[in-house]
Amino acid sequence: MRQFLLVVASSAVLLLAGCSGAAEQQAGAAANVVTTLTVPGVAADSTAPAPAADEALLAQAKASNPVRYQFALDAGAAITPTSDGASFVVSWFPPGAQASPVIATIHGHGSWAFDEFFLWYPFAVERGYGIVALQWWDGEGEETADYLTPTEVQRELSLSFEHEGVAPGTVMFHGFSRGAANSYAVVARDATEGPGYYLLAVANSGKPSQNYPPNVEIQAGLLGQQPLEGTNWVTFCGERDANPARDGCPGMREAAAWIERFGGAVLKAIEDPTADHGGFHKSAANVNAALDVFAGLLAR
């Protein structure tokens, strides 16, 4: 194992990241503290040293929202490097829980895993679920190359699940905005190539782009004729979304039809008449509606 020190300072102002939705919750004040994080190895070769998470990217994440960064540390979240050390995963599991269900999440454009962790944390605590939030943006730009591909997202999440002993069929996968637009190909990879971690997927305000190469592969039948067969979905949209055709309710209705075209089942379509982009986490009713579907599937 490798250890590194992170020096973090408290902030009295709650900063809200616009690309991850916004939940009005105070993280609480914290004194300046030096925190030691133990980063477990995730390399395929157990004899090889584990890479350290990219410290520049971590520093950028901290600077973007110090309160949410500190919130994760205070909650006891682990910050684990991705397999190449270029990024990181923020994960948390209920103390003493064995093989708890998991919320796996990827953020929206130009955002951070700490935002998703912050927004999901109170709901995970209440339900007794773990959280695995992947930093899939490299912090530099907004081109496709600045984000992990769906195959890479699935690889890094699977490594985290394997390390934590998460069982297939016990994970709810969530993607917001750009993360939602990529969720379809992530889930298709999991469904067709295994091991079938995702019991439910939540596509939050982002339809599948028809010309995105991973979706082109799906449409061309390269993952089979029904690559989403057996997958379960919840879609979310806000009727006040600034991009209705892409992220709002017209777009997410198209997303539901696309999911069903390739064999998936949309179990619930949440349409919030008062919500804008990012409105999913602004209403506990929206989040709990999705989690209730997940709980129902787990109960089976």
The answer, yes or no, to whether residue 39 has pLDDT greater than 60, is: no
The answer, yes or no, to whether residue 156 has pLDDT greater than 70, is: yes
The answer, yes or no, to whether residue 227 has pLDDT greater than 50, is: yes
Q: Within 13 A of 186's CA, how many CA atoms are on the CB side?
A: 32
Instruction: Decide which of 136 and 7 is more confident.
Output: 136
Which two structure tokens, joined as six digits, stand for 32?
Answer: 């300046």
Q: How many C-beta atoms lie closer than 10 Å to residue 152's C-beta?
A: 18
Buried b (16+ CB within 10 A) or exposed e, 4-29: eebebeebeebebbebbbbbeeebee
pLDDT score, position 97? 73
> What percentage of the chain has pLDDT greater than the value 70?
82
Structural domain count, the chain: 1
pLDDT score, position 244? 98
Q: How many C-beta atoms lie closer than 10 Å to residue 34's C-beta?
A: 8
pLDDT score, position 144? 93
Q: Give the whole-angstrom CA distance, residue 137 versus residue 139.
A: 6
97-153 pLDDT, tens digit each: 777 999 999 999 999 999 999 999 999 999 999 999 999 999 999 899 999 999 999
pLDDT band at 32 (very low <50, low <70, confident <90, very high): very low
Q: Give the whole-angstrom CA distance, residue 98 versus residue 167.
A: 11
Q: Which structural domain range is residue 148 located in?
A: 2-299
Per DSSP, the three-state class of 278 is coil
The answer, yes or no, to whether residue 222 has pLDDT greater than 70, is: yes
Which whole number is the average pLDDT over 201-211? 97
pLDDT band at 258 (very low <50, low <70, confident <90, very high): very high
List all residues 6 or more positions away from 131 whose beta carbon is below 8 Å from its beta carbon: 77, 90, 91, 92, 93, 102, 103, 104, 105, 116, 117, 120, 121, 124
Which whole number is the average pLDDT over 218-227? 96
pTM for this entry: 0.84
pLDDT score, position 52? 67
pLDDT band at 269 (very low <50, low <70, confident <90, very high): very high
The answer, yes or no, to whether residue 157 has pLDDT greater than 60, is: yes
CATH code for position 32: 3.40.50.1820
